[in-house]
Chains A and B, each alone.
Chain A
Amino acid sequence: MAEVKELVKELSEKYGNRRESLIPIFQGIIDKNYYLSKEAMLEVAKQLDVSAADIYGTASFFSFLDTDAKGKYKIRICKSITCDMKGKSGIIATLEEMLKIKVGETTEDLMFSLLHTNCIGLCDQGPAMLINDNYYTKLTAEKVRVILGDYIRNK
């Protein structure tokens, strides 16, 4: 994790100090620190001279901008009906078994968070999931073991 103050300063130099810079700065923080901590949001408020409430209002609007502690890898399983009919529950069972956490939880080593997401536009290739910005489609229990195994080994 990066030092928040430095990180926000760097990001605001890159994207600017205007209100429009808010989302790219948020994304930059999540990239490095996995989620928007209270300290990080206050630092952004200071840097952009925007009230903390406004910062939080924007952050809490977007589901991909996490404002509570999350792991380095955010696994988001599509919860919409198509993926559900294609066997989402089996995928979740496999993930839960491998990570020893339930949906909504984060592993103790802060490496993985298991989350639901709304439709990610891959209905024709369901069940689908995201791990951070990478998508994985036509999942089976087997496939999940390979994919997640790679992440676990390389973390």
Chain B
Amino acid sequence: MANNINLTIDGIHVSVEEGQSILDAAKKIDIKIPTLCYHVDLCVAGNCRVCVVESVGRNNLIPSCATPAEEGMEIKTSSPKVRRARKDLMALLVSEHNTQCTTCYRSINCELQQLAAEYNVDNDIYLSVLKPTAKVDKSSWSIEKDDSKCIRCQRCVRTCAEIQHVNALAVTERGRDMKISTFMHLPMNEIVCTNCGQCITHCPTAALTERRYYDEIWEAIDDPDKYVIINTAPSVRVAIGETLGYNVGERVTGKMVTALKKMGFNSVLDTDFTADLTIIEEANELLVRLKKALVLKEKVALPMITSCSPGWVKFIEHMYPEHLDHLSTCKSPQQMFGALAKTYYAEKIGIDPSKIVSVAGMPCAAKKFEANRPEMWDSGFQDVDAGLTTRELGHMIKQSGLDFFELGESEFDSYMGESTGAAVIFGATGGVMEAALRTAYVVITGRPVPFENLNIIPVRGLEGIKEATVKFENCVPEYKFLEGVEAKFAIAHGLINARQIMDQIVKGESPYLFVEVMACPGGCIGGGGQPIPTNDEIRKKRMEAIYAEDMDKPLRMSHENPEVTQIYKEFLVKPLGEKSHHLLHTKYRKRNRY
């Protein structure tokens, strides 16, 4: 048990564990100290100095994020000396910043803007020394980088290193030339970047943002020759409220659907439908692999790993190009949706697929890149025309002028709008595994998975790598070869954890049959396209909302989805069949490691 440290902050006594910072101590008693380079997800950098406080008896101000609390300390967080210093620091940061806030995407959701306003920074203290040469890098499908808005706090650098272990961004050059950049300042589309967008959600300003497509979508909606359909991912409905004034974790599914319909989308459909479909295809793929391995004694890649997360897919393509056969060949729900929207759905509603504009509302930055992969033209057209983030969708709803609070609730449109609870939980880490197990167990044994209310608790939560073991007993005749097998599963989220799973596989030591990987911490609810800020507290609330949405669903296993049954009957014929193979499965490519 660590020793307790006693100190006073602004005259209030507080006791914290040894090693905790002054900032931690202040939080404990609800004293707010402003921060910029500090982020609760990341290691301490202490480079912005905005969090300085006064320690009585010491001459210099000290950064509260980087200074451990000491016994008997007397801290002042808002003395005139502290306020003057902070104001000066803010003014210096602003003097280097592109202050075109009126045209900025992050306006009113910018930490620098908020602090500058709070401290009422005087425009005339320092001249603007903004470098006129800074150009916006719009080369990537997913991420825009605008150095004129960078305050060099290095949150993105730490995010890319500590959470994702990709290190695509680094501190380059020195002194006044220092900038956050890439290998040899290459454009974002040429570097080893997974497009996960975690750098965006950790950026305090608009130096890193998603590439935005909503203007094109408005144009398409307005075009009478176009038929615009949108599908929204499970984690969008539990987070989009945050951009519209709701508390974190409030579900706004029905209102969101109403809003999208009122905004002019011709069909509002649900990515959850193809999430259910993914489960059917992926569970069957896994069973085929297991049969090959256990009965036919063929060499197949096990564990099989999920492929729903496009950030993860690009990660493995760069980092483990020799092990792509472990990836499920299933497309992500977004891409399955796109391929079916311009084939099955077009046929169903009698619309020429060339007129369809297929939009995906996603919690994700990497989905934009995925939509533009050259492989994704299986419908004969670009399957998904644009991927929008939750933030962009929230933005569009605001632009539409609708009073979101007052909207009634509606249901998704039919044919590709029905879903089960199993699809909803795709949004949280462990959800795909849980959904797959709910269906696979029924297929293998004919009985529901032996967990209370189908809730497979061991696969839930924010632990970086989770494990579950399921024993198959009394299997149906077709799957007798699994009788008595104790199958081990793993779930990893955050690419640094995915790397551990992969390193085990490379060494040939992986004990698992099936692994779920999500690029972002918390899974899609913490995705790079989700509202800012995101931290563990927020991730937990969004996850709770996801599981509540699951419990509300009358059907909670993917194979029970009536529209899924219908599409196999009328169109796909059977899982892993010829049509599925053509429309719902894909190939991966080797990419450069460095």
Q: Is the CB of B183 within 8 A of A60?
A: no
Cβ contact within 8 Å between A51 and B167: yes
**Given A45-B594, A46-B594, do A51 and B170 touch, yes or no (CB 8 Å)?**
yes
CA distance A54 to B154 in the complex (A): 13
Interface stretch (choices B171-179, B243-251, B436-444, B512-520): B171-179
Chain B residues with CB under 8 Å of A63's CB are 174
Main secondary structure of the interface of B (DSSP, over half): loop
Say whether A57 contacts B594, CB under 8 Å: no
In the complex, what residue of chain A is closest to B178 when comparing beta carbons?
A: A61
| Closest A residue to B173 using CB positions | A60
Complex Cα distance, B172 from A73, in Å, reads: 25
Chain A residue total in the interface (Cβ 8 A)? 18
User: Which residues of chain A are near B169, meaning CB under 8 Å?
Assistant: 53
A45-B594, A46-B593, A46-B594 given as contacts; is B172 within 8 A of A38 (CB)? no
- Residues on B with beta carbons closer than 8 Å to the beta carbon of A52: 183-184, 191-192, 594
With an 8 Å Cβ cutoff, the count of chain B residues facing the other chain is 17
Nearest chain A CB to B193 CB, angstrom units = 9
B184 and A51 form a contact (CB under 8 A): no
Contact, CB under 8 Å: B593 / A57: no
- Residues 5-24 of A at the B interface (beta carbon under 8 Å): none
A42 at the interface (CB under 8 A from B): yes
Measured CA separation A61–B173 after assembly (Å)? 5
A66 vs chain B, min Cβ distance (A): 13
Interface of A is mostly: helix
B258 at the interface (CB under 8 A from A): no
Given contacts A38-B184, A45-B594, A46-B594, contact A51 B192 (CB under 8 A): yes
Rounded to whole angstroms, the CA-CA distance of A67 and B185 in the bound complex is 12
Q: Would you call B166 an interface residue if the criterion is a C-beta within 8 Å of the partner chain's C-beta atoms? A: yes
**Smallest Cβ distance from A79 to chain B, in angstroms?**
15
Residues of chain B within 8 A of A41, CB atoms compared: 183-184
Q: Is B168 an interface residue (CB 8 A)?
A: yes
Nearest CB on A from B345, distance (A): 42
With A38-B184, A67-B184 known as contacts, the answer to whether A54 contacts B170 (CB < 8 A) is yes
Q: Within A33-82, which residues are at the interface with B (CB < 8 Å)? A: 38, 41-42, 45-46, 50-57, 60-63, 67
Tell me how far the C-beta of A35 lies from the nearest C-beta in chain B, rounded to whole angstroms.
13
Residues of A within 8 A of B172 (CB): 53, 56-57, 60-61
Partner of A60, one of B168, B174, B593: B174
22 A-B pairs (CB sep. < 8 Å): A45-B594, A46-B594, A51-B166, A51-B168, A51-B170, A53-B167, A53-B168, A53-B170, A53-B181, A53-B183, A53-B191, A56-B172, A56-B182, A56-B183, A56-B184, A57-B171, A61-B171, A61-B172, A61-B174, A62-B174, A63-B174, A67-B184
With A46-B594, A52-B192, A53-B181 known, 9 other A-B pairs at CB within 8 A are A41-B184, A51-B183, A56-B170, A56-B172, A56-B181, A56-B184, A61-B171, A62-B174, A63-B174
List the 9 closest pairs (A to B, CB-CB), nearest first: A51-B167, A57-B170, A52-B183, A53-B170, A45-B594, A60-B172, A52-B594, A53-B183, A56-B183
